[in-house]
Structure 1
């Protein structure tokens, strides 16, 4: 079996401190950003994927127009409020798709608290 090295950086999730996101402290939305991807080309598809342990998920897709740009998505506060339950957690990652091939970033995992 061949194991491929993951060369994508993890996404950055604003307001997560020490592995915890306090839902009551969110104003509007939570910013999720992806730094410029070294080998991205115009036309690649970038998808942000946000999943809660309570079963909710968001997939937000964009087409890369300027490979040298960072890209971002704002996950709305109400999404995290719906996912808030004792022991709830969230996973955030992104994918880059080109010509049917999909690359996955590392996942960023954190807990949700009131």
Structure 2
């Protein structure tokens, strides 16, 4: 997860997404988006963010890494957790499909 999302989200979705990491735990906070992108690409991560810059990068370069774009504006952590939990099947299927680079959740 990108740093614009709370690191507390991980603890609340780890039962569904056991390999999830936050940029904070990876020591990538205050890092250029390109470095986060390259790290995710090299380590087979999916980026989850509200950052439109990642959306643009994903449109330009495709995947890897795959990108989940949370188009939800300023939302509380509880809402983000609920979205990730409610869309578990959709997110899992997205991860498995080779042809898709971006998943938009609103």
Report the structure, 1 or 2, having the larger strand content.
Answer: 1
TM-score range, shorter chain: under 0.3
| Higher alpha-carbon Rg | 1
Q: Given the two structures, how large is their TM-score scaled by the length of structure 2?
A: 0.24
Query: Higher relative contact order by CA 8 Å / sep ≥ 6: 1 or 2?
Result: 1
